[in-house]
Structure 1
Amino acid sequence: MSNPYAEIFRAPGAKSFSAAGFLARLPIAMAPIGIVAMLSQTHGEYWLAGAVSATFALTNALISPHISRLVDRYGQTAVVIPTTTISVSAFLALIAATHQNWPVWTLFVSALLAAAMPSMPALVRARWTEIFRNRPELNTAFAFESAADELVYIAGASFSVGLGVALFPEAGMLASTIFLALGTLAFILQRASEPRLRHEDVDAQQGSAIRLRAVQIITLALVFVGSTFATAEVSAVAITRELGQPNAATLVIGVYAIGSFILGLVLGAINPAVPLHRQLLIAVSVLAITAWPLLVADTVPLLALAVFVSGIAISPTFITAFGLIERRVPAAMLTEGVTWVTTGIGIGMALGAFVAGWVVDIFGAENGFWVSVIASAAAVATIGLGQRSLAGTTMECPAGSLAQPAE
C-alpha cells in the first residue's frame, strides 16, 4: 500500500514551499506565548504580558482576512513582502523595548504593528490547491497541513517558552522573528509554485467569506478551542514556576504535541467514513472531557500527564475544521476562508492568554485551568448547535454565486 503523504511530496516544489511555510508560520504560536514569557520575566506582571500578547494576536486576527483578500487579488509576492517587512521590524522594536525598559506604551504600539504578519497557513494551502485542484491528493495535502498547524501551535509554543526560560527573556521572541523573516523569504522566492491570479473568479464574488454560516460557526468554535490551549500554556508556566521548576514548562507544554500530532497524521491517512461535521463534534467533546484532569494536577509529572491527555483531540479538531471550511467555501474565497479559521484560533489564544493571566494573578496558578474547562464546553455547545449548518449538502455561496457539491 502506497504512502499517501509520500505521493503528495513528489509534486515539483512541494517539499520546498511546505518546509519554508512551516518555518514561516512558527511565529503564529511562538509570538503570543513568547510575549507572555518575555514580559512576565522582565516586568513581573502576567496581566501586562497577557495584554500585550492579546494586542498582537487580536489585531493580527482582525486584519489577516483582509490581507488574504489582497493576496487573492494581487498575488502572494506583492502583498507578503511589505506586510512581513513591517511585522519583522515591529517585532524587533518590541524586543528592544523590553530589553531597554522603554515606556509601556511602546510595547503595545510594537505589538500592534507586528500584527501585519500574513496568514502563512492559508498561503501554503493555496499552493497545494494550485497543484492538486479537483484531485484526491488535495485532501491528503490538507490533512498534512492541519497536522503541521497543530505541531506549530504546540511545539512552537514549547520552543518559545523554553528559549525564554533557559537563555534570556527575549530569546523566544528573537527566534520567532528570525523564523518569520527567513521562512517567508524562502517561501516567496519559490515563484514557480505561487498560485496564478484569477481575477475573473475574485471579481465574481461579493462580500466576505465570514458571511457564510459554516465559517461563522467554525470560527467561533475555534475561538474557544484556541483559548483552551493558550490557557494551558500560561497556566503551565505559572504552575511550574510556583512549584520551583520553571524549566519544566518546556516539557509540560511540549507533550501536548506528541499524541495529537501522531493521531492527526493517522486520521489524515485513513480518511474516516464518519461525516466531517460529526468528527468535529466528537473531537471537541473529547477536548472538553479531557480538560477536567488539569484541575487536579498539582505536581509536574501529573501536570505533564494531564496536558498530554488533554492535547490528544487538538489535531483532529484542526483537521476536521479545515476540512469543513474547504468544502463549504467557494474556491475563489479559499484563502480568506482558511484565514478566518486561523483568525478564530488567534483570537482564542489571545483571549485565553489574557483571561488565564488575570485568573492566575487573582486566584492563583492552580485555578487557571478553569478557563480551559469553560472554553472547551463552549466549543462543544457551538459545534453541537451548528450541526445542521455544518452538514449542508451544498456549498454556501454569497451574493448568488454558483453552488457546488460540498462532499
Structure 2
Amino acid sequence: MAARLTVDDTTPARTGYGTLLRTPGAWTFLVPAFAARLPYAMLSLGIVLLVLETHGSYGTAGTVAAVSAVAQALVGPQTGRLADRYGQTAVLLPSVAVHALSVGALIALALGHAPVWALLLAAAPAGASVPQIGAMVRARWVAKLADNPPVLNTAFAFESVTDEFTFVVGPVLATGIATAVTPAAGLIAEAALTVAGGLAFAAQRRTAPVLKVPAAGARRVSALASPGVRLLVGAFLGVGTVFGAMQVSVTAFATQVGQPGMNGTVYGIFAGGSMLAGILYGMINWRRSARQRMLGCYALLVLGCSTLWAMPNLTALAVAGLFCGLAIAPTLITGYTLVETLVADGAKTEAFTWLTGAIGLGLAAGSTVAGQLIDHGGPSAGFLVPMVGSGLGLAALVGLRRLLVAPGTPTRTVARSGALVAGSAGASHG
C-alpha cells in the first residue's frame, strides 16, 4: 500500500526539457519569440553606443538609456494588462510600429546632434513600446500546460534560461554590429529584430491564451491587487540592483586593476553561472514548496553578494561572481512559478511583466547608486549595492512569506511508492 505524505503546497516533480519542447505547437511561437526577445537586451547598450559617438558624453548616453529603461519598466506591466484584456496580437501590432518609429526618430535625432531633451523625448516611447515577449511566452505556456504542473514548472526554468541567454548574446550582437558597421547600425538591427520577431510571434494566434471575458458588471482587478505579487515585485527589485551594480562595479574594478578588457569576461562568468544553475534547476525533481525554494535561493543570493566587496583581484572576483550568479536564475524561476499561482488567468501576463519591470527598475537604481558610490569610495564600494539590495529583498520575503501562498490553497496530499504519483486536486502549481 502506498504511503501517504501530507505537505504544505509541495510542487510536483519536474520533467525534462525534451518533454517540454515536444509540446504541440511550442516551436511555432518559441522561434519568433527568441528573435523578438533579443532586442530587449540590445536597446540600452545600442543607445549608449550611438549617443556616446554623436554627443561624446558618457553622462548623456547613460541618461538617455536610463530614460528608455525606466519607461520600459513602468509601461510594460500596462502593456501586459492590455494583452490580458484584448489579446496579445492586438497589443503587439501597434507596439512594434511605435517602437520602430521611436527608434528611427532617436537615431535621426542623435545623428543630427539634437539637444539632449529631444533625445529623451524619443527614448521614452522607444523603451515604453518594447514588446513584452517574455511575459507573453510565459502566458502561452500557462495556457497550454495549466493542467500539467510538472511540465509548466520546467517551462518557467526554460524561459529563465532563455532570458539569461538573450542577455549574454544581445549586448555582444549590438556591440559587434555597432563596431563593424556604424554605431547607428546596432539600433537599426534592434528595431528590425523587434518588428520581424514581433510580427511573426503575433501571427501565431492558435497558441495565444484564450481571453477571459469578465462577468457583466465585474471589474478587472490588477495583478498588483495581490499582496503576494507586490512582495515578489519588491524582491525582484532587489535582484535588479544586483544586475545593475555588477555591470558598473565590475567595469570599474577591472579598470582600476589595469585590465579594462576583462570586465566582459568577469561579467560573462557571472551570467554563465546563472545560466548553468537555471538549466540544472529545471532538471531537478523538487519536493520542497516553491515558497521554501524562493527563500532558500534568495538567501544564497544574499550570501554570494555579501562577499563581492572584499575580493582582492579579478580572479577572486570572477569566482565570487560565479557563486553569486548560481543563485540568480533559480530565484527568478521560482518567483515566476509563485506569481503564476497568485493571480487569476486574466491577469497573468500583467503579473509576469510586473516582475520583469521590477528587475529593470532595480537595474537602473543599482547602476546609478553604485556609480555614485564608486565615484566617492572606489569600485569595492559599488559592490555594497547588491549586498544591501538583495538583503532588503530577503528581509521582506522572510517577514512576509505568508503572502506567497495563494488564497484558498488546500494542503496537497501526495501519494508515494518510491516516486511521486498524485497530488490533491486544486493544489498550487508552485
User: Common fold, TM-score beyond 0.5?
Assistant: yes
Is contact 1:165-1:247 (8 Å) kept?
no
Gaps of 5+ in 2: 1-13, 410-425
Q: Deviations over 1:12-67 (max 9, x none)?
A: 33123112212212233332344445545665654433332221122222111221
How far is 1:241 from its partner?
4.2
SS in 2 for 1:346: helix
1:345 equivalent to 2:359? Answer yes
Pick one of 318, 325, 350 that aligns with 2:332: 318
The 5 Å alignment of 1:90-129 reads: 90-114=102-126, 115-129=128-142
Is contact 1:35-1:52 (8 Å) kept?
yes
How far apart in 1 are the matches of 2:251 and 2:184? 16
The 5 Å alignment of 1:367-406 reads: 367-392=381-406, 394=408, 405-406=427-428
SS in 1 for 2:245: helix
How far apart in 1 are the matches of 2:216 and 2:17? 31
Is contact 2:85-2:346 (8 Å) kept?
no
* Amino acid in the other structure paired with 1:64: G
- The answer for the alignment partner of 1:255 in structure 2 is 269
How far is 1:155 from its partner?
4.6
How far apart in 2 are the matches of 1:220 and 1:31? 24
Gaps of 5+ in 1: 396-403
- The answer for the alignment partner of 2:298 in structure 1 is 284
Is contact 2:36-2:193 (8 Å) kept?
yes
SS in 2 for 1:269: coil
TM-score, length-scaled by structure 2: 0.83
- The answer for the alignment partner of 1:188 in structure 2 is 202
How far apart in 2 are the matches of 1:360 and 1:26? 30
Q: What is the identity percentage for the equivalent residue pairs of Structure 1 and Structure 2?
A: 36
SS in 2 for 1:270: coil
Is contact 1:35-1:173 (8 Å) kept?
yes
How far apart in 2 are the matches of 1:367 and 1:83? 40
Q: Deviations over 1:331-352 (max 9, x none)?
A: 2211111111112111111222
Change (3 A) 1:203 1:61: farther
How far apart in 2 are the matches of 1:13 and 1:371? 43
* Amino acid in the other structure paired with 2:230: Q
The 5 Å alignment of 1:4-403 reads: 4-36=16-48, 39=51, 43=55, 45-114=57-126, 115-136=128-149, 137-157=151-171, 159-160=173-174, 169-170=183-184, 172-200=186-214, 204=218, 206-297=220-311, 299-392=313-406, 394=408
Cα RMSD for the two superposed structures: 2.9
How far is 1:356 from its partner?
2.6
How far is 1:227 from its partner?
1.2
Change (3 A) 1:88 1:358: farther
Q: Deviations over 1:272-299 (max 9, x none)?
A: 2122112111112111121233324464
How far apart in 1 are the matches of 2:217 and 2:273? 43
- The answer for the alignment partner of 1:400 in structure 2 is none
SS in 1 for 2:209: coil
How far is 1:209 from its partner?
0.9
How far is 1:354 from its partner?
2.5
SS in 2 for 1:144: helix
Is contact 1:54-1:354 (8 Å) kept?
no
How far apart in 1 are the matches of 2:56 and 2:374? 13
Structure 1 or 2: larger helix share?
1
Is contact 1:284-1:380 (8 Å) kept?
yes
* Amino acid in the other structure paired with 1:406: S
Q: How many residues align?
A: 399
How far apart in 2 are the matches of 1:238 and 1:43? 22
How far apart in 2 are the matches of 1:300 and 1:319? 29
**Which has the higher Rg, Structure 1 or Structure 2?**
2
* Amino acid in the other structure paired with 1:128: W
How far apart in 1 are the matches of 2:255 and 2:179? 10
Q: Deviations over 1:81-101 (max 9, x none)?
A: 111211222223333434443
How far apart in 2 are the matches of 1:292 and 1:10? 41
Change (3 A) 1:268 1:30: same
How far apart in 2 are the matches of 1:50 and 1:202? 48
Change (3 A) 1:392 1:208: closer
TM-score, length-scaled by structure 1: 0.87
